[in-house]
Amino acid sequence: MQYQASENSPSRQICDCIVVGIYEKRSLNTAAAIMDKSSRSALSQLARKNDLPAALGEATVLRKLAGVKAARVLVVGLGKKTEFGLAELEKATTSAVQAITKTGAKSVAFYLAENGGDFSDIRQVVFRTVVAAHKALYRFDQMKSKPSKNPSRIKKLILGCADAAACEEARNEFAAADALSQGIALARDLGNLPANVCTPDYLADEARRIGRDHKSVTTKIMGRKDLEKFGMGAFISVTQGAQRPPRLIQLHYRGGAKTDAPVALVGKGITFDTGGISLKPPPGMDEMKFDMCGAAAVLGTMQALAKMQLPINVVGIIPACENMPSGTATRPGDIVTTMDGKTVEILNTDAEGRLILCDALCYAKTFKPSTIIDIATLTGACVIALGDHYSGLMSPHDELASELLTAGVTAGDLAWRMPVAEHYVKNLKSNFADFANVGGRPAGAITAACYLWQFVKDQNWAHLDIAGSAWESGSNKGATGRPVGLLIRYLMNKGQQ
């Protein structure tokens, strides 16, 4: 997609479609008011007759509006004026793009952001608009014999700006916003692929592709013998029932000084989760292809930051395997030894994510990172606690937690902090090993995080449980690409320090 920043009046803007907004109580936004004057009050007359939308996200296309050069004007509802901010801008943009794709428009100009308030930072307006547009245009057609009936025709996105200075600032942000959008799309594609295609080797190949495309990224792929060499007994235990071999995938992005400690991103890569011997019930099991969305988020983030050339060092680590039942699969009650020598009694083989992650976290420590963040579709308990609106954030480190929460708010990729504390660790008590891999139903998302905490107590560490936010179910079933936006914003902020 091409991008352009323009300080032209919306009435004089030449393109296939202009997007303006209307608030509740028939109040036109600034751009719509300008067009209303050019069209001899055509918009305000329609508003008085309730022929224009006002509820947030509703949209109406008008053709050949008098006094306006664009062939179409799309009026989108902005909701209450006092509540219109970046989140509402993103929703309105998404709705507008969805409506535009049903027309023949190829170039679209957006005039939704007002001056001041949340919109005083043009960079945020650019990111929210571009990312929302790409999300609305996203299609997953790779596995279909025929493409979608309504393929995107939008080739050019124009952002209306208040003045030349704002235009220049916007132009400087388009490439980064596009890179983030592509990173989110990559994470969505990987999540949406079926498990017979997106295998551990497929994820490894995707990492290699990122390395080939970007000189700043190097990769290394490790197999079962390497896992055995490093004593990753917990990781190996999960792979024992699967025929496809496991992979420990590494991506090293070097954008900072050689002496700068990297940020480590560790993504859970269970390419399909049957639950192992602790077999899951059949309903909804197809969605367990999404159990590698933590890995997908790391790959999407690594690609985006390489395209953006952020001045920071990052290492991405992905333990990838399948969790399958067979005669060689790990059994409930088995005890394994992790990379750092701790022993774990496996009471439930469906709590496998924490088993592969604990060894991956131990391995991440070998790179002496400044921070470790793991990303995982870890617990159904987090879905019960937070639904699909927020990712669960657990960290004993207040500063890191605050940085991640702020990044999520800025990116519109929200997280909610949950506690990590010693009194939860007692739930993991085992009579036969150092601890068990599950702690019962109470506080299930928290005890899972506390399990991981045992392996990174000397680290600046945070855990993101994305079991609720990584994909949608129902008629809109599909991966969301979260939390790539949150991670990129966090890394952008770190790179500016």
Q: Which amino acids are annotated catalytic?
A: 280, 354
CB 431 within 8 A of CB 353: no
Q: Are 36 and 28 in contact (CB under 8 A)?
A: yes
State the amino acid at position 212 in one-letter form: R
| Of residues 379, 377, 356, 358, the one with CA closest to residue 442 | 379
b/e code 61-75 from CB counts within 10 Å (16+ = b): bbeebeebebbbbbb
Q: What angle do CA 100, 101, 104 make, to 5 degrees?
A: 85
Look at the block and give the residue holding tokens 């790539």: 484
> Rounded distance, CA 21 to CA 8, Å?
17
CA distance 40 to 38: 6
Give CA–CA dist 200/202, Å, rounded.
5
Asked if 243 and 237 touch (Cβ cutoff 8 Å), the reply is no
List, in order, residues 6 or more apart from 108 with CB less than 8 Å away: 15, 16, 17, 18, 19, 96, 97, 100, 154, 156, 157, 158
Tokens of 89: 């801008």
Nearest alpha-carbon partner for 152 in 95, 71, 97? 97
Q: 247 - beta bridge partners?
A: 320
What span, in angstroms and rounded, lies between the C-alpha atoms of 65 and 73? 7
